[in-house]
Amino acid sequence: MGSAKLEIAISGAGIAGLTAAIALLKHPLINVHIYEQATELKEIGASIALGPNGLRTLERLGLEHAISDEVCFRGASNIPMIYRHWKTNEILSQDFHENVPEYLHHTARYHRAHLQEALLQNVPKEIIHLRKRFKDVSLNDERVQISFEDGSVATADILLGADGLRSGVRSFLVPELELKWSGWTAFRAIFDFSLVKNIPDLPPDSIHWIGPQTNFFASRLGKNQFTTVGGYSSDPDGENPPFNDVVWDQEASVKYLREIYKDWNPVVKALAEATPETRYYPNFSIAGPLKSWVFGDHITLIGDAAHAHGGAFATGGSIAIDDAYAFSLALNHVFPPSATTKPSSTEIGKALRLYEATRKPHAEKLLNIVHIANKKKAANVGKEVTDEDLRSLAVNRPDTVWLHEHDVVKAFEEVVHRNESGKDAISARL
């Protein structure tokens, strides 16, 4: 193998794929190519929040600009989320950072396109290949061969599937795995803050209004943008539930949004009236956890491709970023920058399983919580919710500190320690 570089192909140029590329390119003996099915790099999906864990990881990668106030928004109080009553507008509860001393690690909110642009500034344009819709992959002579729908082929030592919720890589490798709709369909919008800045009593922080049958979210974003998010809950297993046939980013009826919230408190009603247009985002997750994230010692998955959970607790972006970083940590562990030869298949397999052991339990804990919550919500659709119940729900929310303040480096080091001490013999499973 000589001094040849390790070749890594990444399927998908979203937040997970770009972060992985940035981390991997810091290694002098790794080459990266990103294959993206889109004809242009244009992120959809409206707003996105990054918690302390994701922001900390981006800072570790030297991406201070991407987490600066030039790109994202942090509320005036630096409280991650404030929960208010749908009718009275009174504060019912608040989230707090527990151990986040650094300002730049406080929860931040972005237009997804602005976050993607900030990441793209750190990725060489020549390594991104557009119009490359994944078709299939095979393993030949300890290298992966990736075929695309346009008839072209690429080869690499590792394929990293970072192609999102409807991952082509995952679908090819695990065709039996299904996506499950939770019954929730979000109506999301992004527009200039000037459209709402004069609304009386508009809170300066990110607000989640809790109602008896639905919720409403509003927040400023970076670069003087604003987002509103309404929605509708259905029983996904009911007979012909509303919105069961809409698709991601489909144009929605802003009149319907306004109708849903016409009897809410004056601030929410005014926000709905000021929203110029909105789009549908049906909520999907994978129906169950994957048996493994590693395939043939040369292929693995990150982000929604591995563990799509529907964006619960606004943690999807940060989890994808931490996945990408953990993957780079694992490769650096078995293939340090001082190496003189490319890692063997066995060493690559060990790296992929170190990554999996670091991230899979964490992601599956979240996925299990989401599935339980989704079943409960579906069972309660149409049932009367008293004001007492609503207030109790606001106060007794799940603790998410373990998610938002998770330290991926510490988690990786613990996995390595367990493996090297014989408590978790990852290499024995290769």
DSSP strand pairing (207-210 vs 179-192) = unpaired
The answer to whether 218 and 229 have CB atoms below 8 angstroms apart is yes
- H helix count then E strand count, the chain: 12, 19
Phi/psi of residue 303, nearest 5 degrees: 65, -150
Is the pLDDT at 429 greater than 70? The verdict is no
**pLDDT at res. 230:** 97
- Give all strands (DSSP E) within 267-340, no chain letters: 279-286, 294-295, 299-301
Whole-angstrom Cα distance, residue 412 to residue 359? 8
Read off the pLDDT of residues 193-249 as tens digits, 9 standing for 90 and up.
999 999 999 999 999 999 999 999 999 999 999 999 999 999 999 999 999 999 999
**pLDDT at res. 426:** 62
Is the pLDDT at 427 greater than 80? The verdict is no
Mean predicted confidence (pLDDT) in 93-106: 95
Is the pLDDT at 430 greater than 60? The verdict is no
Q: How confident is the model at residue 45 (pLDDT cuts 50, 70, 90)?
A: low
Whole-angstrom Cα distance, residue 84 to residue 308? 28
Mean predicted confidence (pLDDT) in 78-100: 95
Residues in the chain: 430
Read off the pLDDT of residues 5-37 as tens digits, 9 standing for 90 and up.
999 999 999 999 999 999 999 999 999 999 999
Q: How confident is the model at residue 425 (pLDDT cuts 50, 70, 90)?
A: low
Read off the pLDDT of residues 159-199 as tens digits, 9 standing for 90 and up.
999 999 999 999 999 999 999 999 999 999 999 999 999 99
Is the pLDDT at 57 greater than 70? The verdict is yes
Q: What is the residue type of 427?
A: S
Using alpha carbons, select from 263, 260, 275, 123 the residue that is nearest to residue 196: 275
Is the pLDDT at 43 greater than 80? The verdict is no
The pLDDT mean for the chain works out to 94
- According to DSSP, the residues that pair with 129 across neighbouring strands are 35
- DSSP secondary structure code for residue 61 in this structure: T
Whole-angstrom Cα distance, residue 294 to residue 328? 15
Tokens describing residue 287? 């129906």
Q: Number of C-alpha atoms within 13 angstroms, CB side, residue 23?
A: 24
Read off the pLDDT of residues 330-389 as tens digits, 9 standing for 90 and up.
999 999 999 999 999 999 999 999 999 999 999 999 999 999 999 988 888 888 899 999
Record the pTM: 0.95
Is the pLDDT at 3 greater than 50? The verdict is no
Read off the pLDDT of residues 248-293 as tens digits, 9 standing for 90 and up.
999 999 999 999 999 999 999 999 999 999 999 999 999 999 999 9
Neighbour count for residue 63 (Cβ, 10 Å): 20
Helix (H, G, I), strand (E, B) or coil at 345: helix
